[in-house]
Amino acid sequence: MNNLKRYAIPAIGLAAVSCGGPGQQENQDQQHPNVIYILPDQFRNQALNFWNEPEYQQQVNWQADPVHTPNLDRFADESVVFANACSNFPLSSPYRGIFLSGMYPERSGIVLNCMEERPGSELRQDATCISDVFKAQGYSCGYIGKLHADFPTKNNPQRPGTYVDERHPVWDAYTPAERRHGFDYWYSYGTFDEHKNPHYWDKDGNRYDPKEYSVDHETDKAIAYLRNEHGERMDGQPFLMVLAYNPPHSPYRSMNDCMEEDYAYYKDMGLDELYVRENADTTMKKALAARYYFANVTGVDRNFGRLMKELEDLGLDDNTIVVFTADHGETMCSHGIDEPKNNIYTEAFTVPFMIRYPGKIRHRVEKTLFSAIDIMPTMLSLAGFSAEIPESCEGRDIAPMLLENGEKCDIPQSALYIKNVNGKRDEDGLVRSFFPVARGIRTAQYSMSIQIDPDCNIKDVKLFNDVDDPYQLYNIDYRQNPDLFDELCDLLRAKLEEANDVWFREGYMDRLKY
Protein backbone atom coordinates (compact mmCIF):
# COMPACT_ATOMS: atom_id res chain seq x y z
CA MET A 1 0.00 0.00 0.00
CA ASN A 2 2.86 2.38 0.75
CA ASN A 3 5.07 1.59 -2.20
CA LEU A 4 3.12 3.70 -4.65
CA LYS A 5 4.71 6.92 -5.66
CA ARG A 6 2.85 9.66 -3.87
CA TYR A 7 2.05 12.70 -5.87
CA ALA A 8 4.16 15.69 -4.82
CA ILE A 9 2.25 18.94 -4.57
CA PRO A 10 4.15 21.71 -6.36
CA ALA A 11 4.10 25.18 -4.87
CA ILE A 12 2.13 26.57 -7.81
CA GLY A 13 -0.81 24.37 -6.89
CA LEU A 14 -1.16 26.05 -3.53
CA ALA A 15 -1.63 29.54 -4.92
CA ALA A 16 -5.36 29.47 -4.27
CA VAL A 17 -7.23 32.57 -5.34
CA SER A 18 -10.30 33.26 -3.27
CA CYS A 19 -13.62 34.14 -4.80
CA GLY A 20 -13.69 37.76 -5.90
CA GLY A 21 -9.90 37.97 -5.67
CA PRO A 22 -7.52 38.87 -8.48
CA GLY A 23 -9.30 36.52 -10.84
CA GLN A 24 -9.28 38.59 -13.99
CA GLN A 25 -5.53 38.63 -14.32
CA GLU A 26 -5.34 34.90 -13.67
CA ASN A 27 -8.02 34.25 -16.21
CA GLN A 28 -6.11 35.89 -19.00
CA ASP A 29 -2.97 34.00 -18.06
CA GLN A 30 -4.76 30.70 -17.85
CA GLN A 31 -2.92 28.18 -19.95
CA HIS A 32 -4.34 24.89 -18.84
CA PRO A 33 -7.86 24.03 -19.97
CA ASN A 34 -10.92 23.34 -17.88
CA VAL A 35 -12.15 19.76 -18.02
CA ILE A 36 -15.79 18.67 -17.97
CA TYR A 37 -16.43 14.92 -17.74
CA ILE A 38 -20.03 13.91 -18.35
CA LEU A 39 -20.82 10.40 -17.20
CA PRO A 40 -24.37 9.10 -17.60
CA ASP A 41 -24.83 5.55 -16.31
CA GLN A 42 -25.59 2.64 -18.64
CA PHE A 43 -25.76 4.81 -21.78
CA ARG A 44 -25.48 2.59 -24.90
CA ASN A 45 -23.03 3.76 -27.54
CA GLN A 46 -25.72 2.70 -30.04
CA ALA A 47 -28.19 5.20 -28.51
CA LEU A 48 -26.66 8.11 -30.39
CA ASN A 49 -28.47 9.10 -33.54
CA PHE A 50 -25.41 10.36 -35.43
CA TRP A 51 -24.16 6.80 -35.97
CA ASN A 52 -26.80 6.55 -38.69
CA GLU A 53 -25.38 9.54 -40.58
CA PRO A 54 -23.19 8.57 -43.56
CA GLU A 55 -19.88 9.85 -42.17
CA TYR A 56 -20.32 7.75 -39.06
CA GLN A 57 -22.26 4.85 -40.53
CA GLN A 58 -19.36 3.92 -42.80
CA GLN A 59 -17.14 3.51 -39.73
CA VAL A 60 -19.33 0.96 -37.97
CA ASN A 61 -21.22 -2.11 -39.07
CA TRP A 62 -24.27 -1.74 -36.87
CA GLN A 63 -27.25 0.60 -36.83
CA ALA A 64 -27.99 3.28 -34.29
CA ASP A 65 -31.11 3.15 -32.14
CA PRO A 66 -34.00 5.35 -33.32
CA VAL A 67 -33.20 8.06 -30.76
CA HIS A 68 -33.52 11.83 -30.66
CA THR A 69 -30.08 13.18 -29.64
CA PRO A 70 -29.59 16.45 -31.57
CA ASN A 71 -27.22 18.03 -29.06
CA LEU A 72 -24.93 15.03 -28.85
CA ASP A 73 -25.05 14.72 -32.65
CA ARG A 74 -23.81 18.30 -33.00
CA PHE A 75 -21.16 17.70 -30.35
CA ALA A 76 -19.93 14.59 -32.20
CA ASP A 77 -19.28 16.71 -35.28
CA GLU A 78 -16.83 18.79 -33.22
CA SER A 79 -15.18 15.90 -31.36
CA VAL A 80 -13.00 12.85 -31.65
CA VAL A 81 -15.63 10.12 -31.56
CA PHE A 82 -14.50 6.67 -30.47
CA ALA A 83 -16.27 3.74 -32.08
CA ASN A 84 -14.64 1.11 -29.85
CA ALA A 85 -14.16 2.68 -26.43
CA CYS A 86 -14.27 -0.08 -23.80
CA SER A 87 -15.31 -0.27 -20.17
CA ASN A 88 -12.80 -2.78 -18.84
CA PHE A 89 -15.18 -3.95 -16.10
CA PRO A 90 -18.67 -2.96 -17.33
CA LEU A 91 -20.27 -2.39 -13.94
CA SER A 92 -20.82 0.84 -11.98
CA SER A 93 -18.36 0.79 -9.09
CA PRO A 94 -15.45 -1.09 -10.69
CA TYR A 95 -15.56 1.26 -13.71
CA ARG A 96 -15.58 4.31 -11.43
CA GLY A 97 -12.57 2.95 -9.55
CA ILE A 98 -10.67 2.52 -12.81
CA PHE A 99 -11.66 5.94 -14.16
CA LEU A 100 -10.91 7.84 -10.94
CA SER A 101 -7.64 6.12 -9.96
CA GLY A 102 -6.25 5.01 -13.33
CA MET A 103 -5.75 1.57 -11.78
CA TYR A 104 -7.31 -1.83 -12.43
CA PRO A 105 -9.72 -3.07 -9.72
CA GLU A 106 -7.16 -5.01 -7.71
CA ARG A 107 -5.22 -1.77 -7.15
CA SER A 108 -8.08 0.78 -7.17
CA GLY A 109 -9.68 -1.17 -4.34
CA ILE A 110 -13.06 -1.56 -6.11
CA VAL A 111 -13.15 -5.23 -7.06
CA LEU A 112 -16.96 -5.60 -6.83
CA ASN A 113 -19.98 -3.27 -6.92
CA CYS A 114 -19.95 -1.30 -3.66
CA MET A 115 -22.65 -2.25 -1.11
CA GLU A 116 -23.17 -3.19 2.53
CA GLU A 117 -22.19 -6.87 2.23
CA ARG A 118 -18.83 -6.16 0.57
CA PRO A 119 -16.61 -4.27 3.04
CA GLY A 120 -13.49 -5.02 0.99
CA SER A 121 -14.64 -3.19 -2.10
CA GLU A 122 -14.23 0.58 -2.08
CA LEU A 123 -12.00 3.24 -3.60
CA ARG A 124 -8.69 3.22 -1.77
CA GLN A 125 -8.29 6.35 0.29
CA ASP A 126 -4.56 6.49 -0.49
CA ALA A 127 -5.03 6.15 -4.27
CA THR A 128 -3.83 9.14 -6.27
CA CYS A 129 -6.93 9.93 -8.29
CA ILE A 130 -7.31 12.10 -11.37
CA SER A 131 -8.90 14.77 -9.18
CA ASP A 132 -5.98 14.62 -6.70
CA VAL A 133 -3.61 15.45 -9.53
CA PHE A 134 -5.73 18.29 -10.96
CA LYS A 135 -6.22 19.67 -7.44
CA ALA A 136 -2.48 19.67 -6.84
CA GLN A 137 -2.08 21.65 -10.07
CA GLY A 138 -4.29 24.41 -8.71
CA TYR A 139 -7.58 23.29 -10.24
CA SER A 140 -10.96 23.55 -8.58
CA CYS A 141 -12.55 20.11 -8.67
CA GLY A 142 -16.30 19.55 -8.56
CA TYR A 143 -18.27 16.30 -8.38
CA ILE A 144 -21.99 16.30 -9.12
CA GLY A 145 -24.22 13.20 -9.11
CA LYS A 146 -23.66 9.49 -8.63
CA LEU A 147 -20.34 8.35 -7.14
CA HIS A 148 -20.88 4.69 -6.15
CA ALA A 149 -17.26 4.19 -5.11
CA ASP A 150 -17.59 3.84 -1.33
CA PHE A 151 -18.57 1.09 1.07
CA PRO A 152 -21.68 2.19 3.01
CA THR A 153 -20.96 2.77 6.71
CA LYS A 154 -23.04 4.19 9.57
CA ASN A 155 -21.92 7.74 8.91
CA ASN A 156 -25.27 9.38 8.09
CA PRO A 157 -24.60 13.10 8.63
CA GLN A 158 -28.27 13.66 9.54
CA ARG A 159 -28.47 10.74 12.00
CA PRO A 160 -24.98 9.84 13.22
CA GLY A 161 -24.51 6.15 13.89
CA THR A 162 -26.95 5.05 11.17
CA TYR A 163 -26.76 4.22 7.48
CA VAL A 164 -28.09 6.78 4.98
CA ASP A 165 -30.50 4.10 3.75
CA GLU A 166 -32.65 2.07 6.10
CA ARG A 167 -33.33 -0.76 3.64
CA HIS A 168 -31.02 -3.75 3.70
CA PRO A 169 -28.79 -4.55 2.04
CA VAL A 170 -27.63 -0.94 1.96
CA TRP A 171 -26.39 0.31 -1.40
CA ASP A 172 -26.33 4.08 -0.98
CA ALA A 173 -23.44 5.73 0.85
CA TYR A 174 -22.32 9.08 2.17
CA THR A 175 -18.77 10.04 1.21
CA PRO A 176 -17.08 12.07 3.96
CA ALA A 177 -14.60 14.85 3.16
CA GLU A 178 -11.51 12.70 3.71
CA ARG A 179 -12.62 10.33 0.96
CA ARG A 180 -13.29 12.92 -1.75
CA HIS A 181 -9.90 12.84 -3.48
CA GLY A 182 -9.41 16.52 -4.10
CA PHE A 183 -12.99 17.32 -5.09
CA ASP A 184 -13.64 20.55 -3.18
CA TYR A 185 -17.14 21.13 -4.56
CA TRP A 186 -19.42 18.23 -3.69
CA TYR A 187 -23.06 17.51 -4.55
CA SER A 188 -23.26 13.78 -4.65
CA TYR A 189 -24.59 10.48 -3.35
CA GLY A 190 -23.60 6.82 -3.59
CA THR A 191 -26.21 5.03 -5.64
CA PHE A 192 -29.99 5.47 -5.61
CA ASP A 193 -32.52 4.65 -8.31
CA GLU A 194 -35.49 7.02 -8.21
CA HIS A 195 -34.97 9.37 -11.12
CA LYS A 196 -37.61 11.87 -9.98
CA ASN A 197 -36.81 11.66 -6.28
CA PRO A 198 -33.02 11.97 -6.03
CA HIS A 199 -31.01 13.15 -3.05
CA TYR A 200 -27.56 14.59 -2.53
CA TRP A 201 -25.12 15.67 0.14
CA ASP A 202 -23.10 18.84 -0.21
CA LYS A 203 -19.52 19.35 0.98
CA ASP A 204 -20.68 20.05 4.52
CA GLY A 205 -22.91 16.98 4.69
CA ASN A 206 -26.20 18.84 4.28
CA ARG A 207 -28.81 16.71 2.52
CA TYR A 208 -31.06 17.85 -0.33
CA ASP A 209 -34.20 16.13 -1.65
CA PRO A 210 -35.21 18.34 -4.59
CA LYS A 211 -38.10 16.12 -5.90
CA GLU A 212 -37.02 16.91 -9.45
CA TYR A 213 -35.85 14.80 -12.39
CA SER A 214 -32.24 14.18 -11.44
CA VAL A 215 -30.77 15.03 -14.85
CA ASP A 216 -32.51 18.43 -14.89
CA HIS A 217 -31.50 19.13 -11.30
CA GLU A 218 -27.86 18.10 -11.64
CA THR A 219 -27.52 20.14 -14.82
CA ASP A 220 -28.80 23.20 -12.94
CA LYS A 221 -26.08 22.56 -10.37
CA ALA A 222 -23.48 22.14 -13.11
CA ILE A 223 -24.58 25.42 -14.73
CA ALA A 224 -24.28 27.18 -11.37
CA TYR A 225 -20.78 25.70 -11.12
CA LEU A 226 -19.86 27.09 -14.56
CA ARG A 227 -21.26 30.50 -13.62
CA ASN A 228 -19.59 30.27 -10.23
CA GLU A 229 -22.85 31.59 -8.83
CA HIS A 230 -22.15 30.95 -5.17
CA GLY A 231 -18.38 30.63 -5.06
CA GLU A 232 -18.50 27.00 -6.17
CA ARG A 233 -14.94 27.25 -7.46
CA MET A 234 -11.87 29.45 -7.39
CA ASP A 235 -12.37 32.36 -9.71
CA GLY A 236 -9.76 32.57 -12.44
CA GLN A 237 -8.38 29.09 -11.85
CA PRO A 238 -9.12 26.16 -14.18
CA PHE A 239 -11.57 23.52 -13.05
CA LEU A 240 -12.37 19.83 -13.38
CA MET A 241 -16.10 19.10 -13.18
CA VAL A 242 -17.46 15.56 -13.18
CA LEU A 243 -21.20 15.35 -13.86
CA ALA A 244 -22.34 11.78 -13.22
CA TYR A 245 -26.01 11.29 -14.13
CA ASN A 246 -27.81 8.11 -13.07
CA PRO A 247 -30.21 7.90 -16.10
CA PRO A 248 -30.56 6.15 -18.46
CA HIS A 249 -29.81 3.46 -15.84
CA SER A 250 -32.87 1.47 -14.72
CA PRO A 251 -35.63 1.92 -13.59
CA TYR A 252 -37.23 2.39 -16.98
CA ARG A 253 -40.75 1.13 -16.44
CA SER A 254 -43.13 4.06 -16.29
CA MET A 255 -43.62 7.82 -16.36
CA ASN A 256 -42.11 7.84 -12.85
CA ASP A 257 -38.80 7.22 -14.57
CA CYS A 258 -38.62 9.94 -17.25
CA MET A 259 -39.97 13.29 -18.39
CA GLU A 260 -43.08 13.66 -20.55
CA GLU A 261 -41.32 15.93 -23.07
CA ASP A 262 -38.61 13.32 -23.65
CA TYR A 263 -41.02 10.38 -23.71
CA ALA A 264 -43.10 12.12 -26.37
CA TYR A 265 -40.59 11.08 -29.05
CA TYR A 266 -41.14 7.40 -28.35
CA LYS A 267 -44.63 6.94 -26.95
CA ASP A 268 -46.21 5.93 -30.23
CA MET A 269 -43.37 3.71 -31.40
CA GLY A 270 -44.06 0.00 -31.65
CA LEU A 271 -41.54 -2.71 -30.87
CA ASP A 272 -40.68 -3.08 -34.56
CA GLU A 273 -39.65 0.58 -34.64
CA LEU A 274 -37.89 0.65 -31.27
CA TYR A 275 -35.68 -2.31 -32.13
CA VAL A 276 -33.61 -2.03 -35.30
CA ARG A 277 -31.22 -4.90 -34.61
CA GLU A 278 -31.62 -8.57 -35.30
CA ASN A 279 -30.19 -9.71 -31.95
CA ALA A 280 -33.05 -8.25 -29.90
CA ASP A 281 -35.65 -10.55 -28.38
CA THR A 282 -38.72 -8.34 -28.39
CA THR A 283 -40.82 -11.04 -26.72
CA MET A 284 -38.97 -10.33 -23.47
CA LYS A 285 -40.94 -8.80 -20.62
CA LYS A 286 -38.46 -5.95 -20.64
CA ALA A 287 -39.06 -5.03 -24.31
CA LEU A 288 -41.16 -1.90 -23.75
CA ALA A 289 -38.48 -0.55 -21.42
CA ALA A 290 -36.80 0.79 -24.58
CA ARG A 291 -39.33 3.65 -24.71
CA TYR A 292 -38.46 4.83 -21.21
CA TYR A 293 -34.77 4.13 -21.69
CA PHE A 294 -34.70 6.21 -24.88
CA ALA A 295 -36.68 8.95 -23.12
CA ASN A 296 -33.86 9.13 -20.58
CA VAL A 297 -31.30 9.16 -23.38
CA THR A 298 -33.11 12.20 -24.77
CA GLY A 299 -33.34 13.69 -21.27
CA VAL A 300 -29.56 13.43 -21.00
CA ASP A 301 -29.17 14.93 -24.49
CA ARG A 302 -31.52 17.82 -23.72
CA ASN A 303 -29.58 18.70 -20.59
CA PHE A 304 -26.24 18.18 -22.29
CA GLY A 305 -27.41 20.82 -24.78
CA ARG A 306 -28.26 23.24 -21.97
CA LEU A 307 -24.85 22.76 -20.42
CA MET A 308 -22.97 23.26 -23.71
CA LYS A 309 -24.97 26.41 -24.45
CA GLU A 310 -24.06 27.83 -21.05
CA LEU A 311 -20.41 26.99 -21.60
CA GLU A 312 -20.54 28.89 -24.88
CA ASP A 313 -22.49 31.84 -23.45
CA LEU A 314 -19.86 32.19 -20.73
CA GLY A 315 -17.09 32.14 -23.32
CA LEU A 316 -15.54 29.10 -21.66
CA ASP A 317 -15.97 26.65 -24.53
CA ASP A 318 -12.68 27.40 -26.30
CA ASN A 319 -10.47 26.49 -23.38
CA THR A 320 -12.48 23.58 -22.03
CA ILE A 321 -12.03 19.90 -22.77
CA VAL A 322 -15.44 18.22 -22.75
CA VAL A 323 -15.83 14.45 -22.55
CA PHE A 324 -19.09 12.57 -22.94
CA THR A 325 -18.97 8.89 -22.02
CA ALA A 326 -20.62 6.22 -19.82
CA ASP A 327 -19.52 3.58 -17.32
CA HIS A 328 -20.90 0.74 -19.47
CA GLY A 329 -23.62 0.09 -22.00
CA GLU A 330 -27.01 -1.63 -21.85
CA THR A 331 -27.93 -4.74 -23.83
CA MET A 332 -31.65 -3.86 -23.88
CA CYS A 333 -33.10 -7.28 -24.87
CA SER A 334 -30.14 -8.33 -27.03
CA HIS A 335 -29.30 -12.04 -26.87
CA GLY A 336 -32.40 -12.60 -24.73
CA ILE A 337 -30.46 -11.91 -21.53
CA ASP A 338 -31.81 -10.02 -18.53
CA GLU A 339 -28.50 -8.63 -17.29
CA PRO A 340 -27.97 -5.38 -19.18
CA LYS A 341 -24.22 -5.11 -18.35
CA ASN A 342 -21.36 -6.98 -16.70
CA ASN A 343 -20.67 -9.06 -19.85
CA ILE A 344 -18.48 -8.81 -22.93
CA TYR A 345 -21.25 -8.25 -25.47
CA THR A 346 -20.48 -5.14 -27.54
CA GLU A 347 -23.61 -3.37 -26.34
CA ALA A 348 -22.51 -3.68 -22.69
CA PHE A 349 -18.71 -3.61 -22.96
CA THR A 350 -18.30 -0.66 -25.33
CA VAL A 351 -19.36 2.86 -24.39
CA PRO A 352 -19.80 6.27 -26.00
CA PHE A 353 -16.61 8.29 -25.77
CA MET A 354 -16.31 11.72 -27.35
CA ILE A 355 -13.71 14.38 -26.59
CA ARG A 356 -13.93 17.98 -27.75
CA TYR A 357 -10.95 20.29 -27.33
CA PRO A 358 -11.36 23.24 -29.72
CA GLY A 359 -8.29 24.13 -31.74
CA LYS A 360 -6.33 21.24 -30.26
CA ILE A 361 -7.92 18.06 -31.57
CA ARG A 362 -9.54 17.54 -34.92
CA HIS A 363 -12.95 15.97 -35.41
CA ARG A 364 -12.79 12.38 -36.58
CA VAL A 365 -14.06 8.89 -35.85
CA GLU A 366 -11.39 6.90 -34.06
CA LYS A 367 -11.40 3.10 -33.95
CA THR A 368 -8.64 2.65 -31.39
CA LEU A 369 -9.52 0.29 -28.54
CA PHE A 370 -9.36 3.02 -25.93
CA SER A 371 -10.15 1.61 -22.48
CA ALA A 372 -11.29 2.99 -19.14
CA ILE A 373 -7.77 2.31 -17.83
CA ASP A 374 -6.36 4.80 -20.39
CA ILE A 375 -8.67 7.68 -19.44
CA MET A 376 -6.75 9.17 -16.50
CA PRO A 377 -3.31 9.34 -18.15
CA THR A 378 -4.82 10.58 -21.42
CA MET A 379 -6.93 13.30 -19.78
CA LEU A 380 -4.03 14.54 -17.66
CA SER A 381 -1.81 14.62 -20.72
CA LEU A 382 -4.39 16.44 -22.87
CA ALA A 383 -4.64 19.11 -20.17
CA GLY A 384 -0.86 19.57 -20.28
CA PHE A 385 0.12 17.43 -17.32
CA SER A 386 1.83 14.45 -18.94
CA ALA A 387 4.73 14.88 -16.51
CA GLU A 388 2.33 14.60 -13.60
CA ILE A 389 0.80 11.23 -14.48
CA PRO A 390 1.33 9.17 -11.32
CA GLU A 391 3.39 5.99 -11.66
CA SER A 392 0.41 4.16 -10.19
CA CYS A 393 -1.53 4.68 -13.48
CA GLU A 394 -1.71 1.42 -15.37
CA GLY A 395 -3.08 2.57 -18.72
CA ARG A 396 -1.71 4.39 -21.74
CA ASP A 397 -1.52 8.07 -22.49
CA ILE A 398 -2.90 8.34 -26.02
CA ALA A 399 -3.10 12.14 -25.99
CA PRO A 400 -0.19 12.44 -28.47
CA MET A 401 -2.23 10.68 -31.17
CA LEU A 402 -5.27 12.86 -30.44
CA LEU A 403 -3.51 16.21 -30.51
CA GLU A 404 -2.96 17.85 -33.84
CA ASN A 405 0.62 17.43 -35.01
CA GLY A 406 0.92 14.99 -32.16
CA GLU A 407 3.69 12.47 -31.96
CA LYS A 408 3.26 8.74 -32.10
CA CYS A 409 2.46 6.90 -28.91
CA ASP A 410 1.83 3.39 -27.62
CA ILE A 411 -1.60 2.74 -29.09
CA PRO A 412 -3.63 0.00 -27.40
CA GLN A 413 -4.35 -2.97 -29.69
CA SER A 414 -6.83 -4.69 -27.39
CA ALA A 415 -8.92 -4.14 -24.28
CA LEU A 416 -9.04 -6.33 -21.18
CA TYR A 417 -12.42 -7.58 -19.96
CA ILE A 418 -12.85 -8.29 -16.25
CA LYS A 419 -15.66 -9.86 -14.25
CA ASN A 420 -15.42 -10.64 -10.55
CA VAL A 421 -18.08 -12.12 -8.28
CA ASN A 422 -18.41 -12.55 -4.51
CA GLY A 423 -15.77 -14.78 -2.94
CA LYS A 424 -15.97 -16.31 0.53
CA ARG A 425 -18.23 -14.87 3.23
CA ASP A 426 -17.28 -14.61 6.90
CA GLU A 427 -19.43 -15.74 9.85
CA ASP A 428 -21.39 -12.49 9.67
CA GLY A 429 -22.23 -13.16 6.05
CA LEU A 430 -19.95 -10.44 4.76
CA VAL A 431 -18.07 -10.92 1.51
CA ARG A 432 -14.35 -10.94 2.35
CA SER A 433 -12.86 -11.81 -1.02
CA PHE A 434 -13.69 -11.89 -4.71
CA PHE A 435 -13.59 -14.67 -7.25
CA PRO A 436 -12.25 -13.63 -10.69
CA VAL A 437 -14.93 -15.57 -12.54
CA ALA A 438 -14.21 -14.35 -16.09
CA ARG A 439 -11.56 -12.62 -18.12
CA GLY A 440 -11.57 -11.74 -21.77
CA ILE A 441 -10.25 -9.57 -24.52
CA ARG A 442 -11.59 -7.39 -27.31
CA THR A 443 -9.45 -6.86 -30.39
CA ALA A 444 -10.14 -5.05 -33.65
CA GLN A 445 -11.84 -8.22 -34.91
CA TYR A 446 -12.84 -10.44 -32.00
CA SER A 447 -14.46 -10.46 -28.59
CA MET A 448 -13.70 -13.40 -26.33
CA SER A 449 -14.46 -14.12 -22.68
CA ILE A 450 -13.69 -17.22 -20.64
CA GLN A 451 -15.75 -18.01 -17.55
CA ILE A 452 -14.51 -20.54 -15.02
CA ASP A 453 -15.48 -22.24 -11.77
CA PRO A 454 -13.19 -22.29 -8.71
CA ASP A 455 -11.48 -25.46 -10.03
CA CYS A 456 -10.62 -23.67 -13.29
CA ASN A 457 -13.11 -25.73 -15.28
CA ILE A 458 -14.25 -23.69 -18.26
CA LYS A 459 -17.96 -23.00 -17.80
CA ASP A 460 -18.54 -20.74 -20.77
CA VAL A 461 -16.63 -19.22 -23.66
CA LYS A 462 -18.02 -16.37 -25.69
CA LEU A 463 -16.20 -15.82 -28.96
CA PHE A 464 -17.47 -13.48 -31.63
CA ASN A 465 -16.13 -12.19 -34.91
CA ASP A 466 -17.24 -8.58 -34.55
CA VAL A 467 -16.28 -7.69 -38.12
CA ASP A 468 -18.43 -10.36 -39.79
CA ASP A 469 -21.03 -10.59 -37.04
CA PRO A 470 -21.59 -7.14 -35.52
CA TYR A 471 -24.69 -8.22 -33.61
CA GLN A 472 -22.86 -11.21 -32.13
CA LEU A 473 -25.43 -13.72 -33.24
CA TYR A 474 -22.97 -16.61 -33.71
CA ASN A 475 -20.91 -17.77 -30.76
CA ILE A 476 -17.92 -19.46 -32.42
CA ASP A 477 -17.29 -22.90 -30.89
CA TYR A 478 -13.78 -22.61 -29.41
CA ARG A 479 -13.32 -26.41 -29.42
CA GLN A 480 -13.85 -26.55 -33.16
CA ASN A 481 -11.60 -23.54 -33.82
CA PRO A 482 -8.51 -24.32 -31.73
CA ASP A 483 -6.12 -22.14 -33.73
CA LEU A 484 -8.25 -19.05 -33.31
CA PHE A 485 -8.84 -19.84 -29.65
CA ASP A 486 -5.11 -20.33 -29.01
CA GLU A 487 -4.28 -17.09 -30.77
CA LEU A 488 -6.78 -15.14 -28.67
CA CYS A 489 -5.64 -16.91 -25.49
CA ASP A 490 -2.08 -15.74 -26.22
CA LEU A 491 -3.28 -12.16 -26.61
CA LEU A 492 -5.30 -12.47 -23.41
CA ARG A 493 -2.29 -13.91 -21.55
CA ALA A 494 -0.17 -10.93 -22.60
CA LYS A 495 -2.88 -8.50 -21.56
CA LEU A 496 -3.32 -10.20 -18.18
CA GLU A 497 0.43 -9.94 -17.62
CA GLU A 498 0.44 -6.28 -18.60
CA ALA A 499 -2.39 -5.68 -16.09
CA ASN A 500 -0.69 -7.82 -13.41
CA ASP A 501 -4.07 -9.52 -13.07
CA VAL A 502 -4.73 -12.32 -10.59
CA TRP A 503 -5.29 -14.65 -13.57
CA PHE A 504 -1.70 -13.94 -14.58
CA ARG A 505 -0.19 -14.06 -11.10
CA GLU A 506 -1.87 -17.36 -10.28
CA GLY A 507 -1.41 -18.90 -13.72
CA TYR A 508 -5.11 -19.45 -14.44
CA MET A 509 -4.63 -19.58 -18.22
CA ASP A 510 -2.39 -22.63 -17.83
CA ARG A 511 -4.75 -24.33 -15.40
CA LEU A 512 -7.88 -24.11 -17.54
CA LYS A 513 -9.72 -27.44 -17.83
CA TYR A 514 -11.69 -27.96 -20.99
Taking CB positions, which residue lies at the least distance from Ca ion? 92
Q: Are strands 415-422 and 364-366 parallel, antiparallel or unpaired?
A: unpaired
* Closer residue to Ca ion in complex, CB, 89/508: 89
SS3 content of the chain, % helix, strand, coil (to 5): 30, 15, 55
CB of 341 to Ca ion, least distance (A): 7
The CA distance from 86 to 92, in Å, is 14
Closest listed residue to residue 356, CA positions, set 73, 85, 79, 82:
79
Query: Which CB atom, from 301 or from 327, has the smaller least distance to Ca ion?
Result: 327
Least gap, CB of 86 to Ca ion (angstroms): 15
Q: How far is the CB of 327 from Ca ion (least distance, A)?
A: 4
Kindly tell me which residue out of 45, 92, 131, 334 binds Ca ion, with binding defined by CB under 5 A: 92
Candidates 84-92, 126-134, 307-315, 420-428; binding stretch for Ca ion (CB under 5 A): 84-92
State the minimum distance, in angstroms, from the CB of residue 4 to Ca ion.
Answer: 27
The least CB distance from residue 122 to Ca ion, in Å, is: 16
Q: In whole angstroms, how close is the CB of 200 to Ca ion at the nearest point?
A: 18
Applying CB under 5 A, which part among 3-11, 85-93, 150-158, 423-431 lies near Ca ion? 85-93
* Choices 2-10, 40-48, 188-196, 310-318 (CB under 5 A): range interacting with Ca ion: 40-48
CA distances from 69 to 55, 64, 262, 300 (A): 16, 11, 10, 9
Enumerate the H helices of 102-147 as residue ranges.
105-108, 130-136
Stretch that binds Ca ion, among 46-54, 75-83, 89-97, 137-145 (CB under 5 A): 89-97
Burial class (CB in 10 A: 0-12, 13-18, 19+), 196: middle
User: Shortest Cβ distance from residue 426 to Ca ion (Å)?
Assistant: 27
Q: Smaller CB distance to Ca ion: residue 151 or 385? A: 151
Task: Say how many residues touch Ca ion, by CB under 5 A.
Answer: 3
Interface pick for Ca ion out of 35, 37, 40, 41 (rule CB under 5 A): 41
Q: Which of the ranges 91-99, 136-144, 232-240, 268-276 carries the binding residues for Ca ion, by CB under 5 A?
A: 91-99
Residues in 312-371 that interact with Ca ion by CB under 5 A: 327
Q: Are 83 and 60 in contact (CB under 8 A)?
A: yes
Question: What number of other Cβ atoms are within 10 A of residue 279's Cβ?
Answer: 19
Which CB, 41 or 501, lies closer to Ca ion? 41
Nearest to 144 by CA among 73, 34, 219, 42: 219
Distance of CA 403 to the CA centre of its chain: 22
**Spatial separation of the C-alpha atoms in residues 391 and 413, rounded to whole Å:** 22
**Which residues contribute to the site for Ca ion (CB under 5 A)?**
41, 92, 327
